[in-house]
Amino acid sequence: MEGILAYIGIGANLGDPLAQCRQAVEKVSRIPGVTLERVSSYYRTEPVVPESAGPEHRRALEKQDWFVNAAAEIRTILSPQDLWKELRRIENDMGRVRTIAGGPRIIDLDLLMYGQEIVEEKDLRVPHPEMHRRLFVLEPMCEIASYWIHPVFGVSMRGLKDRLDDDKTVERICK
């Protein structure tokens, strides 16, 4: 298939996170206009508390279960907006409920990169605006696309990871 290479971040920490991440990858592979190229290993990752979290949410976020995270490389003919809508549909179909940012979730699908495009819209920002600050994103991205250049920073995924100051635990659990 012709199209654009795009990268999706996958994560969950409720229910059976590994099974849900794998199910989400399967659902992504069935989106019309999308071909699944590669999937990283799955990683057990320590939760990250957003800086914007207030004290009442911070305590709860620090105590939540660890996540399972991965990244997928796809080729698509969909626009970034249409791909994002499909990812949201999968999340909703799998029972995702949005509560507080960084909170527990049954599944999370983030459009990390869409070719070298930069998208700045109300509900969609690509590249993902926080990916360069998160080891749980950069570790799986380095596994499948260490050479990929971030279109805003002009630095590879490996370069971003090497510069990262993130002491959160990210452990490979399986392929």
Catalytic residues: 96, 105, 108, 110
Where are the strands (E) in the chain, listed by range?
A: 4-12, 34-39, 42-45, 67-76, 108-114, 119-120, 125-126, 170-174
Residues 20/26, Cβ–Cβ less than 8 Å: no
Count the residues in the chain: 175
Residues 136/128, Cβ–Cβ less than 8 Å: no
